[in-house]
A = this chain, B = another copy of it.
Amino acid sequence: MEPLLVIKIGGNIIDDEKKLSLFLEEFGSIEGKKILVHGGGKLATKLADQLGIQQQLVDGRRITDAETLKIVTMVYAGYINKKIVAELQSMGNEAIGICGADGNAIRAHKRTHASIDYGFVGDVDEINDSFLSKLLEANMTIVIAPITHDKHGQLLNTNADTIAQEIAKTLSKHYQVRLVYSFEKNGVLLNVEDENSVIKEINPTSYKKLKAERTIFAGMIPKLDNAFTALQSGVKKVIIGKAEDLKKLIEGHAGTTIINE
């Protein structure tokens, strides 16, 4: 099977024009099949503020009402997605920008919850691997905005980490997938205060030990649990680290690599 790189970039890169350009330069120069999933960044919140649309939070989670959905669709699937595509195209990458509605790439359903109405938030049901594979086989670089649809005409706001993971899992049927989660730290750290204490590799055995010692705790646990779920579903490697180090991350010279033994 041919290798495929699925890379998720977060808001810290999106919000910084210079960082984003540097990242895209590295990303664009990587040979082979690749998919970029981008989050939103602060632009959507800023736009909502300017328009006087109040952000609703329930238990720290953002509620996507109709007006917010409109804004995230504009910002994520419009401005950010097309800006990235134009920049990659200028480097000779055959980039195509899509959201989950395009080609029915990502079908989702409106989140149901016993007590909270999250509004137009979507949980992923199905990845259209045949559509995505067709684009990849045509040597296209796919840029994905975290907006999905329910196949009944409703667009939905969906977590970009989840999208990256679901795509990586589903495309493992056809490709040797490496999944890169870029975030603001150098990797999983032995000591949260020390950016130089990156744990180079984590496998199920060492993960158990790190959790027992409470070296890994809080927000890092769901991230790593997700990584192991992805590995169990056929993803070959999950790498966590700084987007600025993309090439080093891929080569194993930076970040934390998570393997299933």
Contact = CB atoms under 8 A, between A and B. Distances in A.
Interface of A: 50-51, 70, 73-79, 81-83, 85-87, 89-90, 94-99, 101-104, 134, 138, 140, 147, 149, 151-155
B86 A101 contact: yes
19 contacts: A50-B51, A51-B51, A70-B79, A74-B74, A74-B75, A78-B81, A78-B82, A82-B102, A85-B102, A86-B154, A87-B153, A89-B101, A89-B104, A90-B152, A95-B101, A96-B98, A96-B103, A97-B98, A97-B102
B89 A149 contact: yes
Given A78-B77, A103-B94, A86 B149 contact: yes
A147 B82 contact: yes
> Can you list the 8 inter-chain pairs with the closest CB atoms, starting with the nearest?
A78-B78, A74-B74, A90-B153, A74-B78, A86-B101, A86-B149, A96-B102, A85-B101
A43 B79 CA distance: 15
A126 B50 CA distance: 37
Nearest to A24: B153
B82 A77 contact: yes
Most chain B C-beta atoms within 10 Å of own C-beta, residue among A50, A51, A155: A155
A82 B103 contact: no
Number of copies: 2
A70 B96 CA distance: 19
A103 to B, nearest CB: 5
Most chain B C-beta atoms within 10 Å of own C-beta, residue among A81, A82, A87, A96: A82
A98 B85 CA distance: 11
A154 B95 CA distance: 14
A70 B77 CA distance: 12
A89 B106 CA distance: 12
A78 B89 contact: no
Contacts of A99: 82, 85, 97
A39 to B, nearest CB: 15
A16 to B, nearest CB: 17
A18 to B, nearest CB: 14
A104 B85 CA distance: 9
